[in-house]
Amino acid sequence: MPDISAAPVILGDEPGSFPHSVLAERHPAIIEQVREAFPYGPGQHHALDELLSACTEGVIEPLPGDAADRDLWRAWGLDEYAGRSWFDVPWLWSESYFYRRLLEAVGYFGPGAWQGVDPFRPFKRAELDAPETDEELAALDPLQDRPERERADALLHGSLWGNRADLGFRLSAEGAEAAAPVPALVADDSETLWSLLPPSGTGTLVLVADNAGRELVPDLLLIAHLLAEGRIGRAVLHVKPYPYYVSDATTADVVDALRRLVAAPGATAGYGRVLWTAMADGRLTTAAHPFSRAPLPYSDAPDDLRAEFAAATLTVFKGDLNYRRLVGDRLWPPTTPFDEVTAYFPGPVAALRTLKSDVVTGLTAATENALVAAEGQRWRTGGTHALIQVGASHHGQRK
């Protein structure tokens, strides 16, 4: 790993900073959205009120003594952080713990009638069923007449941009980005990525999913293409074991997305059938490892998960949160090599990420300078830039 002394862990204690705004503004707003989305009872409303007070003005409190995952959270740092302000502990940790406490407040862990009811499901379903999703899926039809590599590139960019998937299908824009003074794609290792997944490949792709709804759909379409074209023999889709970060995908969200694809017209249904069949015969599986919702970087992953990553032909981490956990939620100098911050990883690894937080690595000095000159520091968090990065030159050992 590179020297971390120049890359402090991100906290939420600086007023005006992006992490501070998430803790002070976004989390209270999420509590109110969840409160209004379901006809919860008095007990749940009281628990939500307590969480709202604690996360804005109070301190981190331990889990109840009978919580099934209490020991796990203690191992993840709860004993160290309990009693401290939410703003004074690592931002990644406080965000993750907020969602754990939110689920407890609405009765997700039970026992009771609300056990297992996803408090974010209405938001996920609304996005998946939106007319914009139909428009994006319709773009698959003319894509079928293009060469395989063009289809692969389009689907890769669709996965990269998530619910801006239409950008990924605009093949006519090739070359335009490269000529822009501040390109939307600030790092592009796609050639290296494709070299690890050649046609007639038989390897295993592990894809660590990010969001549900319209962002999960292009991830599934990319997997369907890779399976259908023989670039991989098998795929493992890692999702969260319980609802997390509002829109992070769970197995139930995968099922919703597959149903959406199979029921759609045109080429989309064909992709859906490929995936449905692959689930049935084991070429596509879902996994929900407990560490996928840990408040820790993947450098701390347990041995069983490291072994799975080591056995994969390529592991792809999707989205901003997974990127933060992959490289470490630190204020790295943006020119810090991606290969160095992922040197611990036990096999080839790729990141497909739209920039929505301060963390970034692997940029050239020229790219960083152009971004800062054009946008100050807004480029880090605005979601208008993205990257495709691959660390494939190592077989990481735990440092």
**Model pLDDT for residues 263-299, shown as the tens digit of each residue:** 999 999 999 999 999 999 999 999 999 999 999 999 9
Average pLDDT rounded to a whole number, residues 12-26: 94
The C-alpha R_g of the chain, in whole angstroms, comes to 21
Confidence band (pLDDT; 50, 70, 90) for 393?
A: low
Integer Cα distance of 160 and 163 in angstroms: 9
CA dihedral 73, 79, 81, 84 (to 10 degrees): 130
- Say what the pLDDT of residue 180 is: 55
Distance of CA 233 to CAs 224, 230, 309, 364, 392, Å? 11, 6, 16, 35, 20
- Say what the pLDDT of residue 176 is: 37
Sheet with 204-208, side-by-side order of all strands: 185-188, 386-391, 349-354, 314-318, 204-208, 234-238, 284-287
Residue of 256, 260, 276 lying closest to 133 (CA atoms)? 260
Average pLDDT rounded to a whole number, residues 140-169: 80
pLDDT at 167 over 70: no
Question: Degrees (nearest 5) of the Cα angle 388, 3, 304?
Answer: 65
- Say what the pLDDT of residue 172 is: 31
Average pLDDT rounded to a whole number, residues 169-191: 62
Average pLDDT rounded to a whole number, residues 55-72: 94
Q: Rounded to a whole number, what is the largest CA-CA distance in the chain?
A: 60
User: Residue 332: left (phi > 0), alpha (psi -120 to 50), or beta?
Assistant: beta
pLDDT at 133 over 50: yes
Please say whether the beta carbons of 229 and 199 come within 8 A.
yes
- Say what the pLDDT of residue 168 is: 33
pLDDT at 238 over 70: yes
Number of Cβ within 10 Å of residue 333's Cβ equals: 14
384 or 235: which carries more pLDDT confidence?
A: 235
Among 84-93, 171-180, 252-261, whose mean pLDDT is lowest? Answer: 171-180
**Tokens encoding 76:** 């993840």
Pairing of strands 185-188, 314-318: unpaired
- Say what the pLDDT of residue 395 is: 46
- Say what the pLDDT of residue 181 is: 57
**Tokens encoding 338:** 């991606």
pLDDT at 132 over 90: no
Residue of 88, 16, 95, 98 lying closest to 381 (CA atoms)? 16
- Say what the pLDDT of residue 201 is: 81
2 or 339: which carries more pLDDT confidence?
A: 339
For 280, counting Cβ atoms within 10 Å of its Cβ (0-12 exposed, 13-18 middle, 19+ buried), the class is exposed
- Say what the pLDDT of residue 151 is: 94
What secondary structure letter does DSSP report for 82? Answer: T
- Say what the pLDDT of residue 164 is: 55
Integer Cα distance of 234 and 323 in angstroms: 23
Among 166-180, 203-217, 385-399, whose mean pLDDT is lowest? Answer: 166-180
How does pLDDT run across 31-42, given as a tens digit for each residue?
999 999 999 999
For 83, counting Cβ atoms within 10 Å of its Cβ (0-12 exposed, 13-18 middle, 19+ buried), the class is exposed
* Tokens 């990553």, residue located: 309
- Say what the pLDDT of residue 5 is: 76
* Tokens 């032909």, residue located: 313
pTM of the model: 0.93
> Residues 6 or more apart from 73 whose CB is under 8 A from it?
63, 67, 97, 100
Cis peptide before 111 (omega within 30 of 0): yes
Mean per-residue pLDDT of the chain = 91
Residue of 94, 91, 96, 80 lying closest to 10 (CA atoms)? 91
- Say what the pLDDT of residue 68 is: 93
Average pLDDT rounded to a whole number, residues 318-340: 96
CA dihedral 360, 363, 366, 371 (to 10 degrees): -30
